[in-house]
Amino acid sequence: MSIDFTSITGSADYILSGIRYTLELTAITAVGGLALGTALALCRLSRNKFLSNFSRFYTNLMRAVPLVLILFWFFLLMPEVLKVILGLDHPVMIGADLTAIITFVLFEAAYFSEIMRAGIQSVSKGQLSAAKALGLRYGQTMRYIVLPQAVRNMLPVLLTQLIILFQDTSLVYVISGNDFMGAVTKIAQRDGQLVLMYSFAALCYLAVSFSLSMLVRRVQSKMASAR
């Protein structure tokens, strides 16, 4: 077995485009997932039974199904579902990029929801009472008092989930996405350098994940010293 590093150096632009796509997908999904997850957490803590039960059902469902299955379901079934809903005679092609964004946001929101719920519940109830005494509405209390503290309390856990999200983006290649893992797979199959390219991919994921893990530890240390 010969190892030819030109598979990496000669495809640097293609690999970099895959890395760029992976980082963009991670960032977009993190923002969208956190926003939707926060909304789900607020619904879960709501006194409205419908909202609370819906949030509980959604969170449990998403956390019980593998992400790769949700990717396949959305990529293969949603075009047919939209065809029926819109009354068309052909499937509505969504595309790998949009499928990845929507699927990852919906999936990661379930995990961010539980993290934010724990963070919201960690805020002292005395602060809620004080906000009510000051005449703040529920939305103002959550926006200015509860959520900022919840994010700060859960920041290490949120960053840890971000690492998991970054690793999960490697599944996009199963629907022919143009991510880093997809680029590596195509190059490996084209040049017959499976061991080299997959080892290269593993080192790249290790480097990014390890760096983010060090960041999480530093944040935890600073928060511990601040207390």
- 54-78 tens-digit pLDDT: 999 999 999 999 999 999 888 888 8
Joined together, the tokens standing for residue 52 give: 């609370």
- What would the 3-class secondary structure string for the chain be? CCCCCHHHHCCHHHHHHHHHHHHHHHHHHHHHHHHHHHHHHHHHCCCCHHHHHHHHHHHHHHHHCCHHHHHHHHHHHHHHHHHHHHCCCCCCCCCHHHHHHHHHHHHHHHHHHHHHHHHHHHCCHHHHHHHHHCCCCHHHHHHHHHHHHHHHHCHHHHHHHHHHHHHHHHHHHHHCCCCHHHHHHHHHHHHCCHHHHHHHHHHHHHHHHHHHHHHHHHHHHHHHHHC
Q: Are 167 and 209 in contact (CB under 8 A)?
A: yes
Residue with tokens 């059902």: 57
Kindly state the average pLDDT of the residues 2-24.
Answer: 85
Q: Give per-residue pLDDT as tens, 28-45.
A: 999 999 999 999 999 998
pLDDT, averaged across the chain: 87
Q: Give per-residue pLDDT as tens, 126-148.
A: 777 787 787 778 778 888 788 88
pLDDT exceeds 80 at position 202: yes
The residue ranges of every structural domain in the chain are 8-226
Q: Are 215 and 159 in contact (CB under 8 A)?
A: yes
Distance CA 140, CA 138 (A): 5
Confidence of residue 224 (pLDDT cuts 50, 70, 90): low
Q: Give per-residue pLDDT as tens, 70-121.
A: 998 888 888 888 888 888 888 888 888 889 999 999 999 999 999 998 888 8
How much is the pLDDT for 227?
58
Distance CA 75, CA 55 (A): 24
Joined together, the tokens standing for residue 217 give: 């530890």
Superfamily of domain 8-226: MetI-like (1.10.3720.10)
Measured CA distances, 195 to 2, 15, 152, 189, 199 (Å): 10, 16, 42, 10, 6
Closest Cα to residue 67, out of 34, 97, 111? Answer: 111
